[in-house]
Each structure stands twice: as C-alpha cells, then as structure tokens.
Amino acid sequence: HLTAIAGFSKSVKISHQILEIIEKKTLESHIKPIALSLPGIDLQDFKMWKLYVYLATIVNLGLCGEQVKVKDGILVLNKNNFDQTISNNEYVFVKFYASWCIHSRNMASEYEKAANEASKLQMPIKFAELESENHTDLMNRNKIKGYPTLILFRRKTPIEYPRSNDRTSEAFISWLKDQTLPTVKQRNTTKEAEVLTKNEETVARFNSSIVASQEGNLEDLFKKELDLEFIDDVLNPDQ
C-alpha cells in the first residue's frame, strides 16, 4: 500500500552516499520493477520519483545490511559488521583469535560455556569472536598483540580481560559480573556502610533523612574511615 510505504519512508534517513549508490544501474535494476509494479506509478512524475528514491533507499539498506551470524551462542564478527555490533550493544565481549593458535583452540570450549552461562543468567552481554585472518586492520586498530585476546566493549570503550586471570568459563563470568555492576549503589545501614568503607576507591554522599533513620552514626563512621566532610543534602542543599 502506497500510504504505508510513504509513511515508513519518512523515517528513513538518506545520506549522500546512499543516494550515489541508488543512481547506479545495478541498483536501479532491482528498484524499477518494484516501483513500476505498484498501481499508479509514473516515474516521470516528480512525486512518484520521490517515492522511487525512497523505495531505492529501503531496498538498498536491505541489500547492504549484513545479518550477524550466530554460532553456538556467539556472534561471528567480520570487517562488515564489527563496528555496527559494537555501537548497537552496551556490552560486547569479543574474543580475538587465530584458528592456527593452539591457545585459541584450547580456550574455545570455555568461551562457549561462558556465553551459554551468561545467557542463562540473562546478563546484558553479547559474546562475539573475530578471526585474525583477513582482519589485519581490525586487529591493529584494537592493538591485538597475541592470541587469544579478550576485550569487553562497554559502551564502545574497550576493557581488556587481564592476561593473568584464569581462562575458564567461571572466571569469565565472574569478571564480567564485576564489569557490568551498577556504578552507584545505596547503602542504608551502618553494617552496609562498614563493608563499603573497605573499598579504598569509595566516594560517598549522604542524605540526612537516611542517616537519621538508622541506629548508630553513619556520619562518624565515614568521617573516621574515609576522612570525608559530611554533606547534609537536606539542610545544606547548595553544598
């Protein structure tokens, strides 16, 4: 239906590069039969030509887009889908490997087990792999020095899995859980606060309504343990 197609076409963003592709005869051979098969289409009419261009764009996106293959729960990356996969997912754990590398082969089953376990735990992580052959540019861009190398892309920022860590499914899952934990947590009791102060990187800010409702004195605890100036969010909101 033309109305539906026109409505959908408004949401399609047409770049100059796509328009250049549309003008090529190879793509036109795909589009013309589709456009001409629609009732009332006249390619000499400007409005119909506009629809022709939108149809070309939609089909072009379908022709050029590449579905990421999934093997044993792991995304199979290549030069055509790597950047898109990293950009479209908050967490992507990528195994950079070489098929000839014995260490890569030995780790393969553990990596697959970790992918299946992460799926069972409903962790927000995509497991993926990229083979070194024919992907020299991607290997160099990601500074891959040896195989296998594991990198978690957290909101497109790369974090390398420590080489000193075990390469078992349990170790992978444990490390990934740490990397995907919320960066801000609320602690409501003195006992919880005592645990928090053991982390030397802790930064704390308190709401006096929470502190007042607890037994003991969270203010004194954090002053003592962290040498922080207590900030009263309720009485002194501008501080």
pLDDT at residue 146, rounded to an integer: 95
Over the chain, what is the mean pLDDT?
73
Average pLDDT, stretch 202-206?
Answer: 52
Lowest mean per-residue pLDDT among 17-21, 59-63, 74-78, 91-95 = 59-63
Q: CA distances (Å), 169 to each of 92, 115, 143, 175, 211, in order?
A: 16, 8, 24, 10, 41
Identify whether residues 85 and 121 lie together within a single domain: yes
Q: At which of 179, 202, 230 does a domain end? A: 179
Same domain, residue pair 87 and 162: yes
Q: What is the pLDDT of residue 156?
A: 96
Strands (E), 58-156: 69-71, 74-76, 91-97, 126-131, 149-154
Are residues 175 and 219 located together in one domain of the fold?
no
Q: Is the pLDDT reported for residue 55 higher than 60?
A: no
Say if residue 120 is in the same domain as residue 190: no
More confident residue, 221 or 9: 221
Tokens read off for 222: 């954090």
**Cβ(106)–Cβ(147) below 8 Å:** no
Same domain, 39 and 103: no
Which residue carries 């024919």 as its tokens? 134
Domain count, the chain: 3
Residues 127-151: tens digit of each pLDDT: 999 999 999 999 999 999 999 999 9
**Residue 237 above 80 pLDDT?**
no
**Domain CATH for 168:** 3.40.30.10
Residues 193 and 127 in one domain: no
Please tell me whether residues 57 and 119 are part of one structural domain.
Answer: no
Co-location of 40 and 117 in the same domain: no
63 versus 175: the higher-pLDDT residue is: 175
Residues 74 and 154 in one domain: yes
Could you tell me the residue range of the domain that residue 132 belongs to? 69-179
Mean pLDDT, rounded, for 66-82: 92
Q: For position 230, what pLDDT does the model report? A: 43
Indicate the pTM of the whole model: 0.55
> Where do we find the tokens 């990934």?
176
Question: Residue 64 above 70 pLDDT?
Answer: no
Least confident of 6-15, 44-53, 100-109: 6-15
Which pLDDT band, with edges at 50, 70 and 90, does 229 fall under? very low
Among 83, 84, 36, 81, smallest CA distance to 56 is for: 36
Beta bridge partners of 69: 76
Q: Which of 179, 203, 222 marks a domain boundary?
A: 179
68 vs 90, 166, 204, 218, CA distance in Å?
16, 29, 42, 51
Residues 193 and 232 in one domain: yes
- Which of 29, 64, 99 corresponds to the end of one domain? 64
Percent pLDDT > 70 in the chain is 49
The neighbouring-strand residues paired with 129 are 76, 95
The answer on 101 and 39 residing in a single domain is no
Distance CA 111, CA 167 (A): 8
86-107, pLDDT tens digit by residue? 999 999 999 999 999 999 999 9
**pLDDT tens-place string over residues 28-39:** 555 556 555 656
Three-state SS string over 20-31 comes to HHHCCHHHHHHH
Determine how β-strand 74-76 pairs with β-strand 69-71: antiparallel
